Chain A
Amino acid sequence: MCLAIPALITSVEGTTARAEIGGVERTISLALTPEARVGDYVLIHTGFAIGVVDEEEAQETLRLLEELAEFYPDEVEVSQFPNLPISQSPNLPISQSPNLPVSQSTNEVH
Chain B
Amino acid sequence: MRYIDEFRDPRLARKLVANIQARSTRPVRFMEFCGGHTHAIFRHGLRQMLPPTVELRSGPGCPVCVTANTDLDRAIALAKLPGVILATFGDMLKVPGSHGSLQTARAEGADVRVVYSALDALRIARDHPERAVIFLGVGFETTAPTVAAAILEAEAEGLDNFYVLSLHKLTPPATRAILDAGEVRLSGIIGPGHVTTVIGSRAWEFLPQDYSVPCAVAGFEPLDILRAVAALVEMAEDGRPAVVNAYSRSVRPEGNRVALEIMQRVFEVSEADWRGLGRVPASGLALRPKYVRFDAALAFPVDPGPTREHKGCRCGDVLRGTVEPPECPLFRRVCTPARPVGPCMVSAEGACAAWYRYGGADV
Q: From residue B50, how far is it (CB to closest CB) to chain A in Å?
A: 10
The verdict on A78 contacting B17 (CB below 8 Å), with A1-B89, A50-B145 known, is yes
Q: Which residue of B lies closest to A81 (CB)?
A: B21
Q: Which residue of A lies closest to B149 (CB)?
A: A31
B81 contacts chain A at the CB level, 8 A cutoff: no
Cβ–Cβ < 8 Å partners of A8 in chain B: 2
Contact between B142 and A68, CB atoms less than 8 A apart: no
Cβ–Cβ < 8 Å partners of B216 in chain A: 102
A97 to B283, CA, bound (A): 41
Cβ–Cβ < 8 Å partners of B139 in chain A: 1, 46
Contact between A105 and B242, CB atoms less than 8 A apart: no
Q: From residue A103, how far is it (CB to closest CB) to chain B in Å?
A: 7
Map CB proximity to A onto B6-25 as digits: 1 under 8 Å, 0 otherwise: 10000110111111011111
Q: Which residue of B lies closest to A64 (CB)?
A: B227
| Interface segment, one of B71-79, B115-123, B125-133, B310-318 | B115-123
A102 to B16, CA, bound (A): 11
B244 contacts chain A at the CB level, 8 A cutoff: yes
Cβ–Cβ < 8 Å partners of B4 in chain A: 5-6
Residue among B197, B205, B231, B245 making CB contact with A4, cutoff 8 Å: B197
Contact between B146 and A102, CB atoms less than 8 A apart: no
A6 to B6, CA, bound (A): 12
Cβ–Cβ < 8 Å partners of A61 in chain B: 227, 248-249
A-B contacts counted at CB < 8 A amount to 201
A25 contacts chain B at the CB level, 8 A cutoff: no
Interface size on B, residues (CB 8 A): 77
A60 to B245, CA, bound (A): 13
Contact between A81 and B51, CB atoms less than 8 A apart: yes
Contact between B22 and A86, CB atoms less than 8 A apart: yes
A109 to B15, CA, bound (A): 24
Q: From residue A82, how far is it (CB to closest CB) to chain B in Å?
A: 7
Residues 93-110 (chain A) with a chain B CB within 8 angstroms: 94, 97-100, 102-103, 105-110
A71 to B24, CA, bound (A): 16
A78 to B220, CA, bound (A): 22
Residue among B23, B51, B146, B193 making CB contact with A97, cutoff 8 Å: B23
A11 contacts chain B at the CB level, 8 A cutoff: no
Contact between A48 and B149, CB atoms less than 8 A apart: yes
Q: From residue A17, how far is it (CB to closest CB) to chain B in Å?
A: 13
A8 to B4, CA, bound (A): 12
The verdict on A110 contacting B243 (CB below 8 Å), with A2-B61, A65-B227 known, is yes
A57 to B245, CA, bound (A): 11
Cβ–Cβ < 8 Å partners of A86 in chain B: 21-22, 24-25
Contact between A1 and B49, CB atoms less than 8 A apart: no
B179 contacts chain A at the CB level, 8 A cutoff: no
Residue among B89, B152, B153, B242 making CB contact with A46, cutoff 8 Å: B89
Contact between A2 and B220, CB atoms less than 8 A apart: yes
Cβ–Cβ < 8 Å partners of A31 in chain B: 149, 152-153, 262
Contact between B15 and A69, CB atoms less than 8 A apart: yes
The verdict on A51 contacting B250 (CB below 8 Å), with A46-B146, A78-B14, A102-B216 known, is yes
A76 to B216, CA, bound (A): 27
B319 contacts chain A at the CB level, 8 A cutoff: no
Q: From residue A51, how far is it (CB to closest CB) to chain B in Å?
A: 4
A91 to B259, CA, bound (A): 48
Residues 68-86 (chain A) with a chain B CB within 8 angstroms: 68-69, 71-72, 74, 76, 78, 81-82, 86
Q: From residue A34, how far is it (CB to closest CB) to chain B in Å?
A: 6
Contact between B249 and A109, CB atoms less than 8 A apart: no
Residues 258-274 (chain B) with a chain A CB within 8 angstroms: 258-259, 262
**Interface set of B (CB-CB < 8 Å, partner A):** 1-4, 6, 11-12, 14-19, 21-25, 34-37, 49, 51-52, 61, 63, 89, 116-120, 138-140, 142-143, 145-146, 149, 152-153, 192-195, 197-198, 201-202, 205, 208, 216, 220, 223, 227, 230-231, 234, 242-246, 248-253, 256, 258-259, 262, 348-349
A selection of 19 A-B contacts at a CB cut-off of 8 Å is A1-B36, A1-B89, A1-B138, A2-B142, A3-B349, A8-B2, A31-B149, A32-B149, A45-B142, A46-B117, A47-B119, A50-B194, A60-B248, A61-B249, A65-B15, A69-B11, A72-B14, A76-B18, A103-B234
